[in-house]
Amino acid sequence: MSLQTAISAPSFLSSCSGYRLKFNPLFFPNFSFSRCRSNRLGRRNFAVFASENSVFTSPEMDKSFDFTSEERIYNWWESQGFFRPKFDQGTEHFVIPMPPPNVTGSLHMGHAMFVTLELLDDLLSSEFLDIDIMIRYNRMKGKPTLWLPGTDHAGIATQLVVERMLAFEGMKRVELGRDEFTKRVWEWKEKYGGTITNQIKRLGASCDWSREHFTLDEQLSRAVIEAFVRLHEKGLIYQGSYIVNWSPKLQTAVSDLEVEYSEEPGILYYIKYRVAGGSRSDFLTIATTRPETLFGDVAVAVHPQDERYSKYIGQMAIVPMTYGRHVPIISDKYVDKDFGTGVLKISPGHDHNDYLLARKLGLPLLNVMNKDGTLNEVAGLYCGLDRFEARKRLWSDLEETGLAVKNEPHTLRVPRSQRGGEVIEPLVSKQWFVTMEPLAEKALHAVEKGELTIMPERFEKIYNHWLSNIKDWCISRQLWWGHRIPVWYIAGKDCEEEYIVARSADEALEKAYKKYGKDVEIYQDPDVLDTWFSSALWPFSTLGWPDTSTEDFKRFYPTTMLETGHDILFFWVARMVMMGIEFTGKVPFSYVYLHGLIRDSQGRKMSKTLGNVIDPIDTIKEFGTDALRFTLSLGTAGQDLNLSTERLTANKSFTNKLWNAGKFVLQNLPSEENVSDWEIMLDYKFDTEESLLKLPLSECWVVSKLHTLIDVVTESYDKFFFGDVGRETYDFFWSDFADWYIEASKARLYHSGDNTVALVAQAVLLYVFENTLKLLHPFMPFVTEALWQALPKRKTALIVSAWPHTSLPRHANLIKRFQNLQALTRAIRNARAEYSVEPAKRISASIVGSEEVIQYISKEKDVLALLSRLDLQNIHFTDSPPGDANQSVHLVASEGLEAYLPLADMIDISAEVERLSKRLSKMQMEYEGLKARLSSPKFVEKAPEDIVRGVQEKAAEAEEKINLTKNRLAFLKSTVLVSK
């Protein structure tokens, strides 16, 4: 596709008959120049057309980078095929599968870190940005690079969204039926499902969208069914009734990841359990936050060494309000005798810990709750009541019967559905499970053997701990949206005993015919698989598995890297590792990079409840994508990052600084028509020691610093220390290049009078700037590409340009020499500021140093004069102090380098003496006032300690200022006397 189709004013192409335009061929790759006549249009004139009609704006014409051009630049990158892997670049590929964001998602700031890291689900994370940094860096390193994008069908989230839409229309899904409801969900997905993808693109994610996948695509659905069948054939999938997290509203089991715990005010209820056969004083008091679950009690437990209750062990307790139902009083070390009353009611059907204890002790299960959160017939009189209404009524009845001891406020850790917000109930339910222990063992060995590296390393402990204590995985969900479980039951048979696992309905029916005859009727399990089941296959199902002969699978599997939030290390990452090893025999990626969460400026997790979720699209409109990306990428791996407007504003300024530097470089390069100067400039090479030593000090310094930076940041890129890369490059560009070298170069460009000297500076400006753009491109792709395109002689786009070479020469001794020049400049600038010398005023100076120092400093006389605002004609270099040293401000810049600035050249001494004398009098009055307060016993004894300390600090500070001012006055007065 030609970029001609992307520009906003196609008529420009046909109006060039009056000009011969010097186009960058990247702008219009298919445009023919032969039709244009011989009139010439300079580069600066072309910038007008470029800004008005092309993808790129130009710093020569625009005061700042135009954020609205970002989408045009992105579309151009994509149209040119830059996001697709280039197989002619080598065999060492770099592949990252995108953690698939929910199709329901609307990207918030927590996700934004993933495109320079990556995106997953509706969780607040910091993924997006680092991944795009990795991808762009490795693409520039010349590797066939693939970022494989896609979205997740998000079973619960999507079904909930559509159910809410139906409720708004006055309908329920059960009224529509499964087929019609599923049809509605697909319609919703087609209409709204692309929102998250568009937002990812807006953040600059350079994914290969031609390979985009959706977890319900035909290919991925085939992979899910194949995985289920193979695991079942190996005996690793089974059906059973166990305790799960249950959502009464959605009426489905939910995964641990979909349960969020919140600290909420609640009540702790103290209830009497009478001892059967005992007197009225024989009872145990139990403290519980959920009294309605007492109908499911199967035992009462105490610690075996708790002397308070030892006499009751082995007896029976009467469960309140159950018409005298008895349960055993047992002892177990699991009970914490120091918590609450030291007595534990065991309700294994409604508490995960009680369930595990009951299984260990062989206790029965008793369920008192229906799937909709109401109590069942086991609850007797409370049958049919909602769980929370039953709690209120039960407590009232306990109070009437004298079984209620007391209740008190208590902070609860409440499990809530991440999607619907309702309180989750632990409930025993018949579900499908995967036996995890044999899978986990292989995943543990992968880290032990170094086949998988987790970064930061400290998260290995979490990974190992979870896999070493893993529970079987509940993979069934009572939903209609998702991958239907490939299990068929036999009509009229016990569904727990007789069922068929097959890859399709036809295959299931064929199996049924063989076993039960032609008259058999079968029906499919109504449940769907946990969304995480399909996500666990993502790194290889997206590359063609179970067909391992596809070109993508052979080329790109195993992948290189997975980047995601540390909060889902075991929910998703570990499962991918287990499934990858199980089905392909290989670990699905070599590295796992875990980022922190993006938090608000107060350090709080972003959530809709707090109302502190920041929309990245709105942020982009205000600050630009590059500023947002750079801000988010400066975090440390595995550490949360607080996002603030101040940080965004600062990095928007950084974008402007880049833009203005580009403007300066462009304005100070030879015109493109000046062929001879360009030939000389392009002949300059900086890749040898010899070429470096031929440069003047300022140029040698900045090139040496650049070469050092390239090595440092390349190493940090390779180690995934992206925060270090950003900070190092920022400091170099802002301080070394912009604040020092650009300013120093003006002495060559404007004051040298020597074209050869100017060309050296121009060559260095271009070399350093273009390499800085390369280093920053993975972080700030839009502004760097725009600046790159504005530079002359570009043969390729920045996104696919070669990464700078490493191990280039640098001269440590010359770096030290320039640092001495910097120290001298700073000393002079500080003296000027201290004496309030007018900025435009040029002053004299005597520079004193050893012969060696004077030799190299004097060669930079023009630079020193320009940066320090010295009178070029009155700078003297010497090895000893000048004759008027007593009348000069003496500066020590560094060891062996000093300066003397004639005071009379800087200020009106008499006027300054008068000004400082008045200032000293005022300061002394203020100081005496502070001392008077401190000498007052009434103040010192009665005033708050922090107030007294504050006055003491002010007095000490005032005393220090007075001494400095006195010294300054003494010096000025002595200078006046000497001059007389």
Stated pTM of the model: 0.80
The answer to whether the CB of 176 falls within 8 A of the CB of 184 is: yes
At 416 the pLDDT is 92
At 492 the pLDDT is 86
pLDDT tens by residue, 416-429:
988 778 999 999 99
Backbone conformation region of residue 251, classed left if phi is above 0, alpha if psi is from -120 to 50, else beta: left
* Least-confidence region, from 131-135, 441-445, 604-608, 644-648: 604-608
Residue 854 has pLDDT above 50, yes or no: yes
The answer to whether the CB of 151 falls within 8 A of the CB of 197 is: yes
Work out whether strand 598-599 and strand 641-642 pair parallel, antiparallel, or are unpaired. parallel
Q: Mean of the per-residue pLDDT values for the chain?
A: 86
- How many whole angstroms separate alpha carbon 874 and alpha carbon 882? 13
Q: Over pLDDT 70: what percentage of the chain?
A: 89
Residue 917 has pLDDT above 80, yes or no: yes
pLDDT tens by residue, 863-909:
999 999 999 999 999 999 998 788 888 899 998 899 999 988 887 77
At 317 the pLDDT is 97
At 965 the pLDDT is 84
pLDDT tens by residue, 74-111:
999 999 999 999 887 667 899 999 888 877 755 344 44
Residue 761's pLDDT band, with cuts at 50, 70 and 90, is very high
How many CA atoms, within 13 angstroms, populate the side-chain half-sphere of residue 547?
Answer: 10
- How many whole angstroms separate alpha carbon 653 and alpha carbon 364? 67
Q: Over pLDDT 90: what percentage of the chain?
A: 64
- How many whole angstroms separate alpha carbon 378 and alpha carbon 76? 67
Residue 684's pLDDT band, with cuts at 50, 70 and 90, is very high
At 940 the pLDDT is 85
- Higher-confidence position of 913 and 23: 913
- How many whole angstroms separate alpha carbon 174 and alpha carbon 172? 5
Assigned token pair, 191: 């209409």
Residue 113 has pLDDT above 50, yes or no: no
At 727 the pLDDT is 94
Residue 122 has pLDDT above 60, yes or no: no
The answer to whether the CB of 538 falls within 8 A of the CB of 486 is: no
Residue 719 has pLDDT above 80, yes or no: yes
At 365 the pLDDT is 92
At 608 the pLDDT is 58
At 7 the pLDDT is 31
Backbone conformation region of residue 380, classed left if phi is above 0, alpha if psi is from -120 to 50, else beta: left
At 16 the pLDDT is 34
Q: With CA atoms as reference, report the closest residue to 565 among 593, 528, 535, 524.
A: 593
At 594 the pLDDT is 86
Residue 543 has pLDDT above 70, yes or no: yes
- How many whole angstroms separate alpha carbon 198 and alpha carbon 71? 10
Residue 123's pLDDT band, with cuts at 50, 70 and 90, is very low
Torsion of CA 250, 251, 253, 259, to 10 degrees: 40
pLDDT tens by residue, 484-520:
999 999 998 877 778 999 999 999 999 999 999 999 9
- Higher-confidence position of 978 and 69: 69
At 640 the pLDDT is 66
- Higher-confidence position of 717 and 916: 717
At 974 the pLDDT is 73
pLDDT tens by residue, 326-382:
999 999 998 998 888 999 999 999 999 999 999 999 999 999 999 999 999 999 999
